[in-house]
Structure 1
Amino acid sequence: MEDAGVAKDRTISVASAFSAHQQAVQDRDHKFLSRAVEEAYKGVECGDGGPFGAVVVQNDEIIMSCHNMVLKNTDPTAHAEVTAVREACKKLNRIELSDCEIYASCEPCPMCFGAIHLSRVKRLVYGVEAEAAIAIGFDDFIADALRGTGFYQKAHLEIKKADGSGAVIAEQVFEKTKSKFTMY
């Protein structure tokens, strides 16, 4: 009996090789995403925060595994993805994660996506779209605020670019410090 995709001369078709590769990637993604989901459960069980988990992977090894810590740390920015990026950077002693991937149990909010982007993570895999979190009561106010479309934007937060002397001194900080630091 022949193996699927293997001809009698023991050659493998391009289609079957590609399919095998896709399956291997899917299996790998499932493995690491499962760990992110475990973190999401852990965070809720501990009372640390909402059901969100994230893992940072480097060379097929988990180097950081975190869950939402908003309640535990009384820090509204302690989302799983931001915490994972922060802790991975500390562990590796660098500010970029270009050789790493991040797996998140849920689609990252704009703040988390910003942290992921700034850390130069090479790949993001998430398990479920943000609508799943919204459906159980989490809001999308960050995205709404950025778009200027949500209730939160209209009712609680004013966003204004400074003008006058405030704008001038804020602009001057860049000119006055540009030779004093190295771009990262």
Structure 2
Amino acid sequence: PTAHAEVMAIRDACKNMQSIDLSGCDIYSSCEPCPMCTAAIYWANVKNIYYCNTEKDAMEYGFVDKEILAELKKPTDKRKIKSSRITNPAARKVFDKALKTHL
């Protein structure tokens, strides 16, 4: 469910450019990007999004983007999917490694 065209295009561009920073790049999509794709676009620093079909058009075909956005606006303890924090000091090492490797 995560292999949306926008995410795949971002992965391909990052691989080809050997960078996770796509500043100055544009992305083209057949539809207004879903919340997941929009987040990936922001994380990659894409400059512009160009799309044809709207979120409303997608809803007519059964896409649930509005429902997902509504869930994400809720506090984590009020969402349909339970989310719990697990404290582990070693988990910070993942951020440290990512900072040295990618950021």
TM-score normalised by the chain length of structure 1: 0.46
Structure 2: distance between partners of 1:176 and 1:119: 19
Report the alpha carbon displacement of residue 122 of structure 1 after superposing the two structures with TM.
Answer: 1.2
2:56 is aligned to: 131
Q: Which amino acid aligns with 1:136?
A: Y
Structure 1 unaligned segments of length 5 or more: list them. 1-75
- Between the aligned residues of both structures, percent identity stands at 39
Q: Does 1:178 align with 2:96?
A: yes
Q: Deviations over 1:79-102 (max 9, x none)?
A: 111011011111222111112111
Deviation at 1:175, TM superposition (A): 6.1
Q: Which residue in the other structure is 1:92 paired with?
A: 17
Tell me the number of residue pairs that the alignment of Structure 1 and Structure 2 aligns: 97
Aligned-partner SS, 1:178: helix
Match of 2:47 in 1: 122
Which AA in structure 1 matches 2:72?
A: L
- What residue is the counterpart of 1:159 in the other structure? 83
Normalising by structure 2, we get a TM-score of 0.76
Q: Which has the higher contact order (CA 8 A, sep 6+)?
A: 2
Is structure 2 residue 64 aligned with structure 1 residue 146?
Answer: no
Decide whether the 8 Å contact of 1:107 with 1:129 is kept in 2: yes
Question: 1:142 Cα shift?
Answer: 2.6
Flag the structure with larger Rg.
1
RMSD over aligned CA atoms reads: 2.5
Distance of 1:103 and 1:92 partners within structure 2: 18
CA 1:176–1:127: 2 relative to 1, 3 Å = closer
Closer/same/farther in 2, CA of residues 143 and 178 from structure 1, 3 Å limit? same
Q: 1:143 to 1:94 in 2, by over 3 A?
A: same
User: Which position in structure 1 is the counterpart of 2:3?
Assistant: 78
Deviations 1:13-69 (A, max 9, x none): xxxxxxxxxxxxxxxxxxxxxxxxxxxxxxxxxxxxxxxxxxxxxxxxxxxxxxxxx
Gaps (5+ residues) in structure 2?
none
Q: CA separation of 1:135/1:176 partners in 2, compared to 1, >3 Å: closer, same or farther?
A: closer
